[in-house]
Amino acid sequence: MKNVKTIRLFQQKISFLLDVQAMKKLLVISFLTLAVFFLSASFGDSFINPLKVLQTIFGQGSDFDRLIIIDFRMPRIFIAMFAGMALAVAGAVLQGIIKNPLASPDIIGISAGGGAAVVGFLAIFSDSNHSLTVSIEWMPLAGFIGATVVGFFVYLFAWKDGVTPNRLVLIGISVSALMQAITTMLMIIGPIYQASEANKWITGSVKSADWNQVQIVVPLILILLLVTFFITRQLNVQELGDDTAAGLGQSVQKTRLYLILLCCCLVASAISFAGAIGFVGLMAPHIARRIVGSSFGVLVPTSAAIGALLVMIADIIGRTAFSPLEVPAGVFTAAIGAPYFIYLLFRNPNK
């Protein structure tokens, strides 16, 4: 067996088979992601020299620079990075369950459910003066709850002696459409600022990020990613088909439930703070697959890194390209995502 390295520790209490080439590629991409992470602090209304950025992060640098970099830019870069990772991993997991490379978390209704909840939140907690009665800091929670509840219902509706990928997709799409309709309706009935606020969220933007949010998002997503790490071998088996998976001894439906739950939590975490950024869950796993292959052990971290890259870059573009106007990152993930989707059609004419 070439290109692989066996790792055995503690008298085989721990043993792994590593794909060396894939690991090398993963390392390179992770390095790239980290680089972009630091570099993005340079971009914005004003361009700040990357060297100065590093200095400021490590304690030196002027107060003004510190304000811009640490108070304004870093939180949103953090959120962009982690949201990107979460969405990408959710996409990878979902593609493993649905076995259709064109599946993405956006389609099973989770994002749309979050959107409806966000608008609902804005509608319910407004008084007659059209201002919010509770702090807007609770909005992410509403998004999270909406996303998970809708995800739960989609799963429930798709359940008929178990959940098949096709049913999940179909029902997800229609529930998604319903959520969007309800969102639109709420946006119409309510005052206009609500609609505007909601629309920004729906498009996906990290503009209103702050350190409080980062403190919640980062640990949450890290925990979820850790859970995903433990569950990867189950994913590899799920991808082989229900019969084969059962034949190999997996409790197919139970595992599927956990995986979908994981997916919902990942997406909900990402979108409650970053809005419904689309296409990341579709693109990142795909690109990752072309680079490192289909084994989830290495596919998941690679997708995460690429997802982080995509969102961070989209955010950079959004911040700088139309300065002083800020275009939500979601627009650019779509701008890159949709053509990429089409490109996929060219590559696989019979899919």
Partner 1 sequence: MILKNNYSKTFSLIVGVLLLLLCMGISIVYGYANTSIQTTYESFIHFNNSNEHIIIQNVRIPRALIASCVGASLAITGVLMQTLTKNPLASPGILGINAGAGFAVVFAMIFFHISGLQSFAWIAFLGAAIAALSVYAISFSGRDAVTPVKITLAGAAISALFASFTQGLLATNEAELEQVLFWLAGSVQGRKLEILLSVLPYLIIGWIAAIVISPKMNILALGDDVARGLGLRLGLMKILVGLIVIFLAGGAVAIAGPIGFIGIVVPHFARKFVGTDHRWLIPMAALLGGILLLLADVAARYIIMPQEVPVGVMTAMIGTPFFIYLARKGGKK
Partner 2 sequence: MTESLLTKSLTLSYGDSNIIEDLNLSIPLNEITVLIGANGCGKSTLLRSIARLLKPKKGSVLLDGEDIFKLSTKQVAKNLSILPQAPVAPEGLTVLQLVKQGRFPYQSWRQQWTEKDEEIVLNALKATGTDHLQDRPVDELSGGQRQRAWIAMTLAQDTDIILLDEPTTYLDLTHQIEVLDLLFELNQQQKRTIIMVLHDINLACRYADHIITVRDRGVYRQGKPEEIMTTELVSHVFDLECQMTSDPIFGTPLCIPYGKGRNIS
Residues at the contact surface with partner 1, assessed by CB under 8 A: 102, 157-158, 160, 164, 166-167, 170-171, 174-175, 177-178, 180-182, 184-185, 187-189, 192-193, 195-196, 199-200, 202-203, 205, 278-279, 325-328, 330-331, 333-335, 337-339, 341-342, 345-346, 349-351
Q: Minimum CB separation from partner 1 for residue 151, in Å? A: 15
Q: Residue 242 is encoded by which pair of tokens?
A: 């229900």
Beta pairing class for 14-19 and 4-9: antiparallel
Work out which of 58, 135, 243, 342 binds partner 2, going by CB under 8 A: 243
345 counts as binding partner 2 under rule CB under 8 A = no
13 counts as binding partner 2 under rule CB under 8 A = yes
The one of partner 1, partner 2, none whose footprint includes residue 205, by CB under 5 to 8 A per kind, is: partner 1
Map residue 138 onto helix, strand or coil. helix
Other Cβ atoms within 10 Å of 121 Cβ, number: 26
Q: Residue 1 is encoded by which pair of tokens?
A: 């067996």
184 counts as binding partner 2 under rule CB under 8 A = no
In this complex, which beta carbon is closest to partner 2, that of residue 130 or of residue 233?
233
119 class by beta-carbon count within 10 Å (0-12 exposed, 13-18 middle, 19+ buried): buried
15 counts as binding partner 2 under rule CB under 8 A = yes
In this complex, which beta carbon is closest to partner 2, that of residue 249 or of residue 324?
249
Backbone angles phi, psi at 16, to 5 degrees: -140, 155
The CA distance from 67 to 73, in Å, is 9
Q: Minimum CB separation from partner 2 for residue 16, in Å? A: 5
Which of 331, 316, 307, 333 is CA-nearest to residue 42? 316
Site for partner 2, residues 72 to 111, rule: CB under 8 A: 96, 99, 101
- Yes or no: say if 299 and 285 are a contact pair by the CB < 8 Å rule: yes
